[in-house]
């Protein structure tokens, strides 16, 4: 049982698109917070000005909002621990770095890039780990003051004592131990005056009262530096939990080289947000059963860090497609209608204006046959405009010598019925087949071809009813004219 209020943060850098792995990190933070009646904070770590991308911040926030992961505190929503952009917190970092300098836990480094490069090359040649050699730690206060007065370029480094073990308990991986001999004297303040991720991260997590740091596995090697900073400041450390990597099917790290990794790519392809969240929630976590279909409230109720795996999770788009279809079928036809109408606005096809009632008939007929909303258009364009060509393979297999005569009988039959119902279309077709002593398929196959141009689709009586009497007759006449000739 967690006693104090749970406060977690998602702290991305605005350096481009939101990676699918970033969305999973945000989701796990969000689920953990909501499961524990806590707060989900969005903090933007924008102190690396060389990697900053214009528009990335707005895109990042809008993508999170699209996914429903709205922050309780953040740049948009505000909060008592703001500002939530690190570039607006520079005075805070300056005041805290002074504390470390006074207590000799950090030191000025005036080494040039040339010296640092030569040092690295020498260490590589000697087979040593590349790390700073503490050259500037021995500078006297007088030397430091002279260098500062002369405006020499400097950074401020973390002073790491050698020969000590640093340990922390990871909520997913158990106890983790690092020796300080393997840890570099990390730069805390860069030459441009901005803090590095490591320093700003720890200061902000403390000041924003973050209780649990839930982030990707790639940050484990940085955590000892963060633990040291907490110790140097004499601050209480948060709980750490490092999530497993996301992997390609070949078990390599998920990367753009092998497919889409941006959340926006999946949104633009038509994946439902609930399906995408359901899918990525299962990339490294399960509730201990075989359940795979979750809505957001179910994820919140079921989620725990104890059930997060240590090993990497394979990103399987086939499973994502299956989940998207499952989530789509759980929507009401009216919910799908609103999405379909937006797709129709965006489509390049020339489509006549159809009533909501007509579109709802299409949705009902196709719901079990599609995985994406756009497929209510792309997989059945014949509902929106008459076919301009007919599948040659279907003609060879299903178009028989008596097909024109049977189609004409069907056309004449429904022409005699005023406002035929679906049952009227069905009885007309069946009566002809009984009268001619033929199987239903003998008429159904050429009729489908005439109406849709293809050999597969929804039930033939749904198709005829949705198209209506006049359109059905018109398409039969056109097909007879083109296919026979």
Q: At what angle do helices 441-452 and 469-484 cross, to 10 degrees?
A: 90
Work out the burial of residue 251: count CB atoms within 10 Å of its CB; fewer than 13 is exposed, 13-18 middle, 19 or more buried: exposed
Give the C-alpha separation, 186 to 229, whole Å.
11
Give the start-end residues of each E strand in 70-208. 106-109, 155-158, 165-170, 174-179, 187-189
The two three-digit tokens of residue 224, written as one number: 């000892």
Task: Count how many Cα atoms sit within 13 Å of the Cα of residue 447 in the half-sphere of its side chain.
Answer: 31
- Tell me how many degrees the CA angle 64-65-68 measures, rounded to the nearest 5: 90
Nearest residue to 463 via CA among 360, 350, 361, 351: 361
Give the C-alpha separation, 451 to 472, whole Å.
7
Give the C-alpha separation, 165 to 179, whole Å.
4
The two three-digit tokens of residue 100, written as one number: 């470390």
SS3 assignment, position 226: helix
Pairing of strands 187-189, 106-109: unpaired
Q: Which of 94, 104, 122, 256 is catalytic?
A: 256
Q: What DSSP string describes 417-482?
A: SSS--HHHHHHHHHHHHHHHT--THHHHHHHHHHHHSSS--S-HHHHHHHH-HHHHHHHHHHHHHH
Give the C-alpha separation, 44 to 394, whole Å.
57
**Torsion of Cα atoms, 382 then 383 then 385 then 387, to 10°:** 20
Residue 108 DSSP class = E
Give the start-end residues of each E strand in 29-132. 39-42, 106-109
Give the C-alpha separation, 310 to 317, whole Å.
21
> For residue 220, how many other CB atoms are within 10 A of its CB?
16
Residues 6+ apart with CB under 8 A from 439: 433
138 alpha-carbon distance from chain centroid: 49
Residue 269 DSSP class = T
SS3 assignment, position 216: strand
Q: At what angle do helices 422-436 and 403-415 cross, to 10 degrees?
A: 140
Q: Is residue 190 annotated as part of the catalytic site, yes or no?
A: no
What is the set of active-site residues? Answer: 256
């Amino acid at each position: 049982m967690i006693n104090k209020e749970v406060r977690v943060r998602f702290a991305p850098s605005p350096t481009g698109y939101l990676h699918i792995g970033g969305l999973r990190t945000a989701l796990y933070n969000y689920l953990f917070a909501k499961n524990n009646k806590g707060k989900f904070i969005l903090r933007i770590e924008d102190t690396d000005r060389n990697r900053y991308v214009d528009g990335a911040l707005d895109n990042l926030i809008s993508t999170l909002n699209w996914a429903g992961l709205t922050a309780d505190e953040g740049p948009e929503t505000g909060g008592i621990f703001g500002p939530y952009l690190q570039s607006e917190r520079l005075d805070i970092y300056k005041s805290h770095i002074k504390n470390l300098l006074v207590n000799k836990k950090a030191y000025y480094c005036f080494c040039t890039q040339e010296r640092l490069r030569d040092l690295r090359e020498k260490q590589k040649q000697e087979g040593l780990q590349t790390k700073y050699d503490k050259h500037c730690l021995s500078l006297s206060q007088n030397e430091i003051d002279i260098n500062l007065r002369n405006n020499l370029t400097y950074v401020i480094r973390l002073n790491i004592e050698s020969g000590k073990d640093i340990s922390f308990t990871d909520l997913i991986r158990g106890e983790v131990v690092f020796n300080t001999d393997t840890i570099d004297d990390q730069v805390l303040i860069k030459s441009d005056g901005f803090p590095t991720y490591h320093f700003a991260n720890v200061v902000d997590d403390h000041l924003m009262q973050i209780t649990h740091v839930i982030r990707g596995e790639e940050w484990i090697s940085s955590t000892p530096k963060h633990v040291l900073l907490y110790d140097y400041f004499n601050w209480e450390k948060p709980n750490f939990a490092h999530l497993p990597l996301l992997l390609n099917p070949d078990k390599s790290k998920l990367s753009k080289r092998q497919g889409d990794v941006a959340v926006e790519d999946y949104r633009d392809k038509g994946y439902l947000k609930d399906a995408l969240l359901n899918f990525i929630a299962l990339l490294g976590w399960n509730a201990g059963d075989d359940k795979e279909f979750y809505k957001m409230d179910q994820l919140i109720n079921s989620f725990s860090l104890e059930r997060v795996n240590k090993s990497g999770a394979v990103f399987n788009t086939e499973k994502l497609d299956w989940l998207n279809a499952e989530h789509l079928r759980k929507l009401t036809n009216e919910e799908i209608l609103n999405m379909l109408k937006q797709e129709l606005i965006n489509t390049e096809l020339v489509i006549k204006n159809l009533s909501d009632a007509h579109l709802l008939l299409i949705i009902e007929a196709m719901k079990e046959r599609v995985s994406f909303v756009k497929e209510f258009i792309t997989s059945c364009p014949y509902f929106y405009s008459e076919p301009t060509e007919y599948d040659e393979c279907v003609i060879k297999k299903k178009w028989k010598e008596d097909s024109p005569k049977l189609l004409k009988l069907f056309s004449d039959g429904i022409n005699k019925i005023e406002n035929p119902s679906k049952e009227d279309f069905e009885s007309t077709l069946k009566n002809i087949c009984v009268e001619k002593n033929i199987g239903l398929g003998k008429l159904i196959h050429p009729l489908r071809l005439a109406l849709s141009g293809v050999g597969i689709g929804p039930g033939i009586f749904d198709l005829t009813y949705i198209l209506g009497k006049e359109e059905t007759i018109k398409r039969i006449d056109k097909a007879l004219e083109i296919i026979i000739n």
